């Protein structure tokens, strides 16, 4: 019987958590279906929703590499066919490649009857995402897999408390920013005082989550390491930020390497209003966009059939 | 009636919390006694235990400036005489100047009947410490005043949970390292990856305190911003660190700007053994030292008579 898993999009960085924080949202996300084959190999047999942009070649496909990595580790006899259903944009800063890799390993874990716990799947999923990102990094993988708000240290994730009344609005402007460009714009060295300020903010962010203090959370969400540089290449960054703030956002930032941006609100209605407001700001610049609104997804990746 | 306050020493930085974390210990500490005079001025009338090194001149004396700052703010009519009893070494990295300033404002607050809460005294105490340190910074002031383990953002302190079984050993080698030297050895810029690593560690440190997880706490206490540079001018740093670790320390670092060093242990006996072990390591280098062992001081500064 084929097994299908869903893995949600994730917002990495979260301002003060550049390269170390991420959270999962409800949607968008990717679906991956796996089934046994008699060829004794892992292969990608179908890709939908990608406009022909994703490779079928196993070692270039994030889900393919992730599934094969798990498959090799457990020394399975039967091969696996992988069908990928992309339901989210790539190059969006929403962890698209991570979602495919995560959905792949979660589905394969079920199909193979491995019964590995979710956190035991992290390194296989990272094997997959490394194909797309070029470095082993879990700030999208871990939240997509485990759900919630996660502090990522290397390949380990520490799950942080999620405030009940936290609502996330994500906007994906329909423009492309290459991750390489977003990376190359960052300096190799940063002022000592910025490093100190960033660490104090991240510490405060963690306190705010444990205290369920959204005011303090908002105060902590200032990014000194990436935003000053990356905001210059984001579409209409200042306008979108102002629109979010005017509509009641208590935090705003770049999602991952962009171009998506996110905002936090303390009520569902505000999150919706923030989405509309940000969308209008982009329309004024003649940039189309897609808005997603949800609470933090605490469940992470899951088997859906 | 004269009023006397005690303010404890503090260990600032705590590895991953360079410039933003500090904790209070039980001893050493400073005592300051204040009483009214009829001259309508604030003045330092006595200093004991300083080997003649502290200035009587009001505006050069940390306790004097702190007390006068509070005194001016509340527009008191009567003047204040200040007697300082130094019971701790200065230039030790244990927040000596902060302790004097804190004891001064706590005593004066009581004498003047201001009934300001402790956190309302922070800025006056910082006024005082600025005389000694040259910059407004609360990472010794706030823990000495409030007690506990504190995350300092600007002039505000966030009190963090203190694990029950946390024991602190502090060793003060009898050598002098000028704060200016310890400061000048730090680079203006640091590698981006070190800044990211530091922030992840500080976030993890906060998690570990909320979870009362001493193992995780130890893992988080790695300093990428100051220790790599400052350890080179600390007395026998590598040897003292090895001695602490061999005796069971789960964390070790420089206290403030040094030369004092500190270690964490999960048992009182271990904390004592760590102190002896570190002391021996310094003796081998012909450096005398004083060891202090206590739990984290949760009370902070207090009126003692």
Best probe of the B interface among A182, A188, A203, by most B CBs < 10 A, is A203
Provide block-wise average pLDDT over 10 residues at a time, chain B (305 residues): 97 97 96 97 95 93 97 95 94 93 98 93 95 86 98 92 97 90 94 97 98 97 97 95 98 96 98 98 97 97 96
Tell the burial category of B142 from Cβ atoms under 10 Å away from its Cβ (0-12, 13-18, 19+): buried
Mean pLDDT of chain A: 95
C-alpha to C-alpha distance for B88 and B49, rounded to whole angstroms: 8
Q: Within an 8 Å CB–CB cutoff, is residue A14 touching chain B?
A: no
Check A153 against B204: CB less than 8 A apart.
Answer: yes
A204: chain B residues, CB-CB within 8 Å: 151, 153, 158
A160: chain B residues, CB-CB within 8 Å: 207
For residue A154, the model assigns a pLDDT of 81
Which structural domains are found in chain A, ordered by start?
A: 3-160+298-303 (3.30.230.10), 167-295 (3.30.70.890)
Give the chain B residue nearest A198 (alpha carbons). Answer: B199
C-alpha to C-alpha distance for B171 and B276, rounded to whole angstroms: 10
Reported ipTM: 0.94
For residue A142, the model assigns a pLDDT of 97
Q: What is the band of A260 on the pLDDT scale with cuts at 50, 70, 90?
A: very high
Check B203 against A202: CB less than 8 A apart.
Answer: yes
C-alpha to C-alpha distance for A71 and A216, rounded to whole angstroms: 44
A151: chain B residues, CB-CB within 8 Å: 200, 203-204, 207
Q: Helix (H, G, I), strand (E, B), or coil: what is residue B16? A: helix
Best probe of the A interface among B200, B215, B223, by most A CBs < 10 A, is B200
Rounded mean pLDDT, A234-259: 97
Q: Within an 8 Å CB–CB cutoff, is residue A190 touching chain B?
A: yes
For residue A137, the model assigns a pLDDT of 87
* Cβ-nearest to B225 among A21, A196, A206: A196
Interface of B with A in 70-129 (CB under 8 A): none
Q: Helix (H, G, I), strand (E, B), or coil: what is residue B90? A: coil
C-alpha to C-alpha distance for B45 and B38, rounded to whole angstroms: 14
Which residue spans within chain A are E strands per DSSP?
3-12, 21-37, 42-48, 79-85, 149-153, 156-160, 167-173, 189-191, 251-254, 261-265, 289-295, 302-303
Q: For residues A281 and A132, which has the higher predicted lDDT (pLDDT)?
A: A281
Q: Within an 8 Å CB–CB cutoff, is residue A135 touching chain B?
A: no
Query: Tell me: the pLDDT tens digits for A214-244?
Result: 999 999 999 999 999 999 999 999 999 999 9
Q: Which of B279, B252, B283 is nearest to B265 (CA)?
A: B252
Best probe of the A interface among B20, B151, B196, B199, by most A CBs < 10 A, is B199
Angle at B123 between CA B120 and CA B129, to 5 degrees: 135
Hey, what are B102's tokens? 């804190």
* Cβ-nearest to A20 among B17, B192, B203: B203
* Cβ-nearest to B19 among A19, A187, A196: A196
Check B195 against A200: CB less than 8 A apart.
Answer: no
Q: Which of B236, B218, B234 is nearest to B226 (CA)?
A: B234
Query: Tell me: the pLDDT tens digits for A18-71?
Result: 999 999 999 999 999 999 999 999 999 999 998 889 999 999 999 999 999 999
Q: Within an 8 Å CB–CB cutoff, is residue A205 touching chain B?
A: yes
Q: Within an 8 Å CB–CB cutoff, is residue B25 touching chain A?
A: no
Check A158 against B196: CB less than 8 A apart.
Answer: no
Positive or negative, the CA dihedral B49, B128, B130, B169 is: positive
B152: chain A residues, CB-CB within 8 Å: 200
B18: chain A residues, CB-CB within 8 Å: 196, 199
Check A195 against B200: CB less than 8 A apart.
Answer: no
Hey, what are B236's tokens? 């026998």
């Amino acid at each position: 019987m084929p097994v299908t898993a869903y893995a949600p999009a994730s917002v990495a960085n979260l301002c003060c958590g550049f390269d170390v924080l991420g959270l999962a949202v409800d949607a968008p996300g990717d679906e991956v279906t796996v089934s046994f084959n008699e060829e004794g190999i892992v292969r990608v047999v179908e890709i939908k929703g990608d406009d022909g942009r994703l490779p079928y070649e196993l070692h270039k496909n994030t889900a393919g590499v992730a599934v094969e990595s798990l498959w090799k580790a457990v020394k399975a006899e039967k091969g696996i066919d992988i069908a990928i259903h992309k339901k989210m944009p790539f190059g969006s800063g929403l962890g698209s490649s991570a979602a495919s890799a995560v959905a792949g390993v979660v589905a394969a874990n079920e199909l193979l009857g491995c019964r590995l716990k979710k956190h035991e799947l992290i390194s296989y999923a990272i094997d997959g995402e490394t194909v797309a990102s070029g470095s082993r990094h879990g700030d999208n993988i871990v939240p997509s897999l485990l759900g919630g708000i996660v502090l990522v240290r290397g390949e380990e994730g520490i799950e942080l408390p999620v405030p009940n009344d936290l609502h996330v609005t994500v906007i994906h402007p329909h423009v492309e920013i290459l991750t390489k460009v977003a990376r190359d714009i960052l300096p190799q060295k940063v002022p000592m005082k910025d490093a100190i300020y960033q660490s104090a903010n991240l510490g405060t962010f963690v306190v705010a989550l444990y205290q369920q203090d959204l005011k303090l959370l908002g105060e902590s969400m200032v990014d000194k390491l990436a935003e000053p540089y990356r905001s210059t290449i984001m579409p209409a960054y200042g306008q979108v930020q102002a629109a979010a703030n005017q509509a009641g956002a208590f935090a705003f930032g770049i999602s991952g390497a962009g171009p998506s941006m996110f905002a936090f609100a303390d009520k569902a209605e505000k999150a919706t209003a923030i989405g509309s407001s940000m969308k209008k700001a982009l329309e004024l610049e003649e940039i189309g966009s897609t808005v997603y609104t949800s609470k933090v997804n605490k469940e992470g990746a899951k088997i859906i059939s």
